[in-house]
Structure 1
Amino acid sequence: MSKYTGGCAHVHVTASAEPIDNHECHCNVCKSVTKQQHTHVAFFNYGDVTVDHPEKIKRVPFNAQNPDGPLEICLCAECGAALMLDDKQKRIRVAVPNVMGYDDAAFPKATYHAFWDETKGYAKPADGRPVYDSLRPEFRWPAGA
């Protein structure tokens, strides 16, 4: 059963479960990639996200400052659309709903703010959700494959 679908006309990405983490990300890498001050990000267990045409995916490092890091941006080789973040360690797959072809309104609202840093020059979020300088303290990375 599909809970969430995204992607583009050439590659469809499907999540079959709820996110294991769902936050507004304030990290510099997300800012650089999305050009947004903060970005709604949903982590899924790796096996809960499937792709119908993996042969049509072009992979690029998520963090240009750490090109050997574990996350890669998956792009459609035909149209260049951002599809998902893929974890080389096979722990998670990541959706950025408003950038990766999902219906952002269909996703659960982000439950907290992650990677907020007072040196970034804007006010601390005051929408009632917790604000952390990293992921929420109780988050545990799933085991990889």
Structure 2
Amino acid sequence: MTSSYTGGCDHVKVKATSEPIDNHVCHCNVCKGVTGQQTTHVAFFKHDDLSVDHPEKMNRQPFNKDNPDGPLELCTCADCGAALMLDDKQKRIRVAVPNVMGYEEASFPEATYHAFYDTSKGYAKPTDGRPVYDSLRPEFVWPEPA
């Protein structure tokens, strides 16, 4: 691993033991609703490659309020409410949002593409040279559950 990715809050630390398996700028409405940002830098890790030191101090809530039974849960600190990570109930991935979840954003590799861009959202298509997709990159393969 070339960098150490450690995030979280004063009560719960989140640490990656490997590089992200996917690293993109997300344009989805769920990320916008949760973060309040137009776009969000998102890093996917294999489920067991992102761990927490005090899982008993995490609250879990559906990530997508419009799909409460969906696979992703937003994990927050039970003490201070800080966002810690997204956890996949199917145990395929865990997700870090560097600028929201207590990481040093500069330590993360730059996002390699734009995901979930939709022309109906009313803003210009990104022109920064990175590929733009209406979903995850076509070659992305979901890892097997841990």
TM (norm. structure 2) is 0.98
Task: Indicate whether 1:104 and 2:105 are aligned.
Answer: yes
Which residue in the other structure is 2:40 paired with?
39
CA distance in 1, matches of 2:48, 2:60: 18
Partner SS for 2:132: coil
Equivalent pairs: percent with the same residue? 77
Residues 11-44 of structure 1: CA distance to partner in whole angstroms, max 9, x if unpaired? 0000011000000000000000000000000000
CA distance in 2, matches of 1:102, 1:64: 25
1:144 to partner: Cα distance: 1.1
CA distance in 2, matches of 1:42, 1:136: 13
Which residue in the other structure is 2:136 paired with?
135
1:64 to partner: Cα distance: 0.2
Which residue in the other structure is 1:116 paired with?
117
Which residue in the other structure is 2:49 paired with?
48
RMSD: 1.0
Which amino acid is the alignment partner of residue 95 of structure 2?
Answer: V
Unpaired runs of 5+ residues, structure 1, are none
Partner SS for 1:85: strand
Partner SS for 1:32: helix
Aligned length: 145
Unpaired runs of 5+ residues, structure 2, are none
TM (norm. structure 1) is 0.98
Which residue in the other structure is 2:95 paired with?
94
CA distance in 2, matches of 1:144, 1:117: 29
Which amino acid is the alignment partner of residue 89 of structure 1?
Answer: Q
1:80 to partner: Cα distance: 0.1
Which residue in the other structure is 2:25 paired with?
24
